[in-house]
Amino acid sequence: IGYFAQFSAEDYFLANHFLTRGWKCVISAHPALQNSLSPSLTHFRARLRRWYQLRTNVNPLLIFLEPTTDCFLNAFLMSLSLSVLLPRLINPMVYFLCQILLWFLLDYCLLCYMH
């Protein structure tokens, strides 16, 4: 078990090790609490940065798939809903493109702020 202490997500790598050996893993009904000791903006930004590095190291494909699952799917569903609920008030394609543009701009602002 000491070998896995060198990794950032030791629980992931430990579970992956057990699964490759044929063991069964069960998710607990009682999740671990992860409250920060000092809830400040600096600690929050550091935690977000570590979480991003961890996610990109564990699965680099997420960098490309996450916008597809979040941004595009939400924009598509909302534009589809608007086309049904308010067909003459808002053009769904304009809404779709505006939401994607706004999402990317806000992500860029957050990225600039984090770095």
Catalytic residues: 11
Token couple for 62: 């997420």
Residue 78: pLDDT band (50, 70, 90) is very high
Residue 102: pLDDT band (50, 70, 90) is very high
Token couple for 24: 């069964």
Of 34 and 3, more confident: 3
- pLDDT for res 1: 67
- Burial of 75: CB neighbours in 10 Å, binned 0-12, 13-18, 19+: buried
pTM beyond 0.75: the answer is no
